[in-house]
Amino acid sequence: MRAWEVIGGNTYENALAAGARTGASTILAVTLPQSAVDPNTPSLVGLESFAIGYQRPSIIAQPQSQTIVVEANTVFSVTASGPGPFSYQWLFMNQFIPDATNSLLIIVKARPEDEGDYVVIVRNSFGSASSEAAHLVVLTPPQITKPPVSQMVMPGAGVFFSVTASGRGTIVYQWQFNGTNITGATDTTLMLSDVKADDAGDYSVVVANEAGPVSSAIATLTRLRQSGSLP
């Protein structure tokens, strides 16, 4: 940063006191040789023209909102323009983050409690600027709130298993029979019609989102004899 050069007893501080400090303004100093200046006339001295930017930082690249999975790493960044040097302070939910004083904020192995709004304050000698809030979403695997239940059924009858799960992101389902995926069985409900002897066994469902899968408890299908007794 160039120093102010003002004659007539004026200084940089006097210029500020005279109202030059306008937040985001620029003072243009056009200079003349000392011999050409009346010492009683307030003028700028020197042989060159230069501009001194008296301005606060301007954020030209905001931190961006993100969605990540639990245990993943992520980075928030900010880019500022204006007279440097800059200092940085990141905040999480309006609270200062200790030692988060760079243009990059790195989050390692994100946890659910890391979800929320992140803001950075950029400062220079003339003031500060706050970024827009960047929201972080931390996805966790779904939770099965109502697993399938075991059932008994008569031969030839129909039966269905169902599951209820909660969570965010894109939730997908895959039903299994005795530990093997059932082709096309990708809904919250598994329908079986005309139950045969080889349909008896263990049924479960894998529920997943971007953060990973979770498996339900096993629901056993028992096929009864025509008399109503167990086979």
**Nearest 5°: phi and psi at 107?**
-110, 120
pLDDT tens string, the chain, 231 residues long: the values are 333 333 333 343 444 444 333 333 333 333 334 444 444 544 444 333 334 457 899 999 999 999 999 999 999 999 999 999 999 999 999 999 999 999 999 999 999 999 999 999 999 999 999 999 999 999 999 999 999 999 999 988 999 999 999 999 999 999 999 999 999 999 999 999 999 999 999 999 999 999 999 999 999 999 887 654 455
Distance (Å, rounded) from C-alpha 143 to C-alpha 208?
A: 9
Q: How many CA atoms lie within 13 A of 51 on its CB side?
A: 7
CA 218 to chain centre: 36
Q: What does the pLDDT read at residue 20?
A: 39
pLDDT per residue as tens digits for the range 68-88 = 999 999 999 999 999 999 999
**Nearest 5°: phi and psi at 48?**
-135, 165
Q: What does the pLDDT read at residue 225?
A: 73
CA-based nearest residue to 103, from 72, 126, 139, 129: 129
Q: What does DSSP say about strands 66-69 and 134-139: parallel, antiparallel, or unpaired?
A: parallel
Q: Are 94 and 62 in contact (CB under 8 A)?
A: no
Q: Please count the other Cβ atoms lying within 10 Å of the Cβ belonging to residue 53.
A: 16
Q: Are 55 and 21 in contact (CB under 8 A)?
A: no
Q: What does the pLDDT read at residue 224?
A: 82
Ordered domains of the chain (ranges, CATH): 12-55 (no CATH), 58-139 (2.60.40.10), 143-223 (2.60.40.10)
Give the predicted TM-score (pTM) of the model: 0.67
Q: What does the pLDDT read at residue 10?
A: 39
Count Cβ atoms within 10 A of the Cβ of residue 199 and give its class: 0-12 exposed, 13-18 middle, 19 or more buried. Answer: middle
pLDDT per residue as tens digits for the range 177-209 = 999 999 999 999 999 999 999 999 999 999 999
3-state secondary structure of 216: coil
